[in-house]
Amino acid sequence: MERRLAAILCADIVGFSRLVARDEVGTVRLVLRLTDDVLKPLIARYRGRLFKTMGDGFLVEFGSAINAVACAQAWQTRGLMPETPKPLSFRIGLHVGDVLVEGEDLLGDGVNVAARLESIAPAGGIAVSGDFASQIRGKSDIHLTSLGIRELKNIERPVEVWVSAFSDTDLAGEGGPTDPVHAPPPAVDRREGASVAVLPFATRSPDPADRYLGEGIADQLVTTLGQVPWFFVTSETASFAETLRGLAPSEIGRKLGVRYLVDGNLQKAGPRLRVTVRLVEAATGRQIWSERFAGSLEEIFDLQDNIARSVIGQVEPRLRRVEIQRSAARHGTPTAYDFYLQAQPLIRSMTPADHERAFALLEAALRCNPEHAAAHGLVAWLMTLRLPQGQGVDHEAGIHHAERAIAAGPHDSEALSTGGYALGFLRRDPDLGLAHLRDALALNPNAARIHDFAGWLQLYAGRPGEALDHFEQSMELSPIDEFAFRALTGLAFSQLGLGRPAEAVEHAKRARSANPNFTVCHRVLAPALIAVGDQHAAEDVVADLRARHPALTVARFAEETRFRDPDFRLLLFAGLAQAGLPTDGWTPPRG
């Protein structure tokens, strides 16, 4: 065998198994096309050698660390093939070390370390070893942030790990590997968000298979929590390390550099399983949330899916609340992430004054980081919320921020969903927005907010049945979401559109109770009450609506609303007019 020193690049496709399960033939064809049309020419340009592909994995050798990192940067931007309907996301690991060449295969410690680094790289990002970082220091201006010394699975010595995240920007020049490697714009850094580690679940059973089962459930949670764009989730290779067993939460948090821990325990009695999951604040050991799940070994995969969905639905809104409180109490210079967090509860209030304050905070976030994709998306979404509240809306500015969110956050489900929804709303093209929401759901299928956005766009497109499915999923995934009043209102519109006015009344009343400032709920409650024959209650609803939005008329609603279906529009407008909302010249169409 030939032994030599080389720079090794290992890459794999994020969520490949999920993509194959949904469309095996289409995914395989896309990967083959990507390999032949994009990656092979890219690797050749940077003087690399593609040793092998392994389904969703790629192993590449370079004679130079500079060429390797330049190729990796270009890979993470051009490799996305944005013109395709299913852009792919990669993780890349880079290391410099000894390799052994055996025919058409590449073996050795250098390959093993690069493969482990790839497994802990952020989606759409790069992880490099300390050895690799020292090789490019002063020769490449890629932005790297240290994660400290990490124990990597099946690697004898600890490895210093550095990571870099990217936005969808062309980072490498067109002239070849001798071009300077440009640092990415200050894209959203996942580690700026809520940092979380999932610990292996404890079991009292002496059976080693039970330990593996507990680790399997925890490993699934690593993947699931990693779908949330503002979580930074440590890999299982770090959080499952034997050296952490028995340590206090504060010590584990310090060693892993995280603020929150997810742990649990597993009990087995014959074929039955009981799993308890907790969310803990690492520094204090304070328990933020816990829940118990039960199932059978025969249904272990269904049980794992149920746990994953529940953890996302319950943990994400709770952590968001804790992070907002932490940010508000923070001393020192706020970051873009702090400003972004502090804007969110102001948006929920649905009052003009709070919306203006939210705009100011988001502007501050974008001054700190002009490429903060989620902040751009939140500005765009806020534009859509202001319109039905009777506030001024700059459509062009909203479209600009929506497009920036989508461009800067191709792997950020939150940016894709807020930006995609706003784009569909502001351009009056719901199917355009739904295309981006499908991408967001592929990244984070358990996000209640994304299902809420998809439901509204389906409503605007005149598909109340599909809308109902999304709103029900939103409520099931996160019944404690602070924006649940939107999903409840969407459920009411869907039920009314499906000819179920009694159910529409029930959901609209719940939405109005949750947030009466969200005047959209009045616009479905009054027509639904008319449809069930409660004229007096409908008049009371319209009186409340006029007190909150004095300038609203049927004609104005008809001009501003995005609902396309003419029969549904007539049902809404006629019901509001009958309940006492001024028509301002609107009349039902004849015939």
* pLDDT of 75: 86
The one-letter amino acid at 175: G
SS (H, E, C) 152-215: CCCCCCCEEEEEECCCCCCCECCCCCCCCECCCCCCCCHHHCEEEEECCCEECCCCHHHHHHHH
Q: What crossing angle do the helices spanning 535-548 and 520-531 adopt, rounded to 10°?
A: 170
How long a stretch of residues is the chain?
591
Distance CA 15, CA 431 (A): 24
Distance CA 413, CA 434 (A): 13
Closest CA to 229 of 473, 408, 21: 408
Model confidence pLDDT, tens digit, residues 317-338: 777 777 777 666 655 567 787 8
Residue 320 CB neighbour total at 10 angstroms: 19
Which two three-digit tokens encode residue 426?
């502001």
* pLDDT of 591: 57
Torsion over CA of 290, 292, 298 and 302, rounded to 10 degrees? -50
325 Cβ contact list (under 8 Å, min separation 6): none
**Are domains 2-184 and 459-591 of this chain identical in fold?**
no
Helix (H, G, I), strand (E, B) or coil at 580: coil
Which H or E run includes 51?
strand 48-54
The one-letter amino acid at 523: R
Closest CA to 382 of 408, 416, 413, 421: 421
| Distances 443 to 13, 46, 85, 268, 469 between C-alpha atoms, Å | 12, 30, 14, 33, 19
Q: State the fold for domain 330-445.
A: 1.25.40
Residue 108 CB neighbour total at 10 angstroms: 18
Closest CA to 463 of 421, 430, 418: 430
* pLDDT of 540: 97
- What is the bridge-based pairing of β-strands 90-102 and 2-13? antiparallel
177 Cβ contact list (under 8 Å, min separation 6): 45, 46, 47, 64, 66, 67, 70, 71
Assign domain 2-184 to a CATH class. Answer: alpha beta
pTM: 0.60
Domain boundaries, the chain: 2-184, 194-326, 330-445, 459-591
* pLDDT of 412: 79
| Distances 222 to 295, 396, 433 between C-alpha atoms, Å | 21, 39, 29
**Does 3.40.50.10610 match the CATH number of domain 194-326?**
yes
* pLDDT of 152: 75
Which H or E run includes 130?
helix 130-136
The HSE-up count of residue 553 (CA atoms within 13 Å, CB side) is 10
Is 521 exposed, middle or buried, given 0-12, 13-18 or 19+ CB atoms closer than 10 A?
Answer: buried
Residue 465's beta-bridge partner residues? Answer: none
350 Cβ contact list (under 8 Å, min separation 6): 385, 389, 515, 517, 518, 519
Helix (H, G, I), strand (E, B) or coil at 117: helix
Quick check: 372 and 410 in contact, CB under 8 A?
no
Q: State the fold for domain 459-591.
A: 1.25.40
Distance CA 190, CA 228 (A): 9
Which two three-digit tokens encode residue 196?
């979380």
175 Cβ contact list (under 8 Å, min separation 6): none
Model confidence pLDDT, tens digit, residues 446-491: 788 899 999 999 999 999 999 999 999 888 877 667 788 999 999 9
* pLDDT of 41: 86
Q: List average pLDDT for each run of 10 residues in the chain, which is 591 residues long.
A: 81 80 80 85 87 83 88 75 59 86 70 87 86 81 74 75 60 28 33 72 70 72 70 63 79 81 82 85 86 78 74 75 69 73 87 91 89 91 89 89 89 88 96 92 82 96 95 82 89 97 97 94 97 97 95 94 95 96 88 57
